[in-house]
């Protein structure tokens, strides 16, 4: 994994792929599958929706840090498996053959098998809506990976794989942040 420009990290979240969010509760690693994510600022800040119904939430709230990891289509069955069991009674890194990699700023692990990873700190928890606001600290990309197609959870048990990419950079020039 190589460092990926932090100012570009929002481009990993903005297309809306399903992501994995890792935490470390002081004793052990855990990881959850999240489709409910949103960019909220270029600084970069991201929101995710989570709460007590996710076992990871306690670690997120206590440690106030996590890693957002971006899986690709070849990881779909791992992503679904991770999303349908709980860290309460499962070591998901072990069970789903994920390799934890030590991060630079946070104790939550990066996931070696993912296309990209973003170390994040929690900047706010909006309890009345179960929205957690994160700030990206450093980002990484596996530049050796050939298939970079991500997957989009529909919410009904189906997933849409990235198709082709259309370029509207010229039309969009006035709206693209500098250096992107």
Which stretches of the chain bind a second copy, using CB under 8 A?
8, 10-11, 14-17, 35-41, 45, 47-49, 73, 76-77, 80-81, 83-84, 124, 126, 128-131, 133, 149, 151-176, 180
Helix, strand, or coil here: 178?
coil
Please choose, from the candidates 144, 83, 141, the residue with its C-alpha nearest in 3D space to the C-alpha of residue 110: 141
Quote the CA–CA distance of 162 and 26 in Å, as a whole number: 36
Task: CB nearer to a second copy: give 58 or 76.
Answer: 76
- Are 68 and 19 a contacting pair, CB within 8 Å? yes
Q: How far is the CB of 180 from a second copy (least distance, A)?
A: 5
Q: How far is the CB of 116 from a second copy (least distance, A)?
A: 13
- Count of C-beta atoms within a 10 Å radius of residue 36: 15
Helix, strand, or coil here: 142?
coil
Q: How far is the CB of 37 from a second copy (least distance, A)?
A: 6
Task: CB nearer to a second copy: give 88 or 164.
Answer: 164
Contacts (Cβ under 8 Å, ≥6 apart) of 95: 81, 85
Task: CB nearer to a second copy: give 84 or 144.
Answer: 84
The three-point CA angle 135-152-9 to 5° equals 30
Q: How far is the CB of 129 from a second copy (least distance, A)?
A: 6
Q: How far is the CB of 53 from a second copy (least distance, A)?
A: 11
Sign of dihedral through CA atoms 98, 102, 104, 107? positive
Task: CB nearer to a second copy: give 41 or 91.
Answer: 41
Quote the CA–CA distance of 27 and 6 in Å, as a whole number: 29
Task: CB nearer to a second copy: give 137 or 151.
Answer: 151
């Amino acid at each position: 994994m190589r460092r990926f420009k932090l100012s570009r990290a929002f481009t990993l979240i903005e297309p809306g792929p399903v992501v994995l969010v890792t935490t470390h509760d002081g004793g052990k690693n855990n990881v959850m599958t999240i489709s409910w994510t949103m960019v909220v600022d270029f600084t970069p800040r991201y929101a995710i929706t989570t709460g007590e119904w996710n076992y990871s939430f306690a670690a997120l709230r206590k440690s106030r840090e996590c890693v957002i990891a971006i899986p690709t289509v070849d990881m779909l069955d791992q992503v679904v498996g991770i999303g349908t069991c709980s860290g309460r009674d499962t070591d998901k890194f072990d069970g789903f053959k994920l390799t934890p990699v030590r991060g630079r700023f946070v104790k939550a692990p990066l996931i070696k098998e993912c296309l990209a990873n973003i170390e994040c700190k929690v900047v706010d928890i909006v309890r009345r809506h179960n929205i957690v606001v994160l700030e990206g600290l450093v980002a990484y990309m596996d530049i050796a990976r050939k298939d970079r197609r991500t997957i989009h959870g529909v919410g009904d048990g189906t997933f849409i794989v990235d198709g082709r990419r259309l370029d509207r950079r010229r039309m969009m020039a006035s709206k693209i942040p500098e250096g992107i």
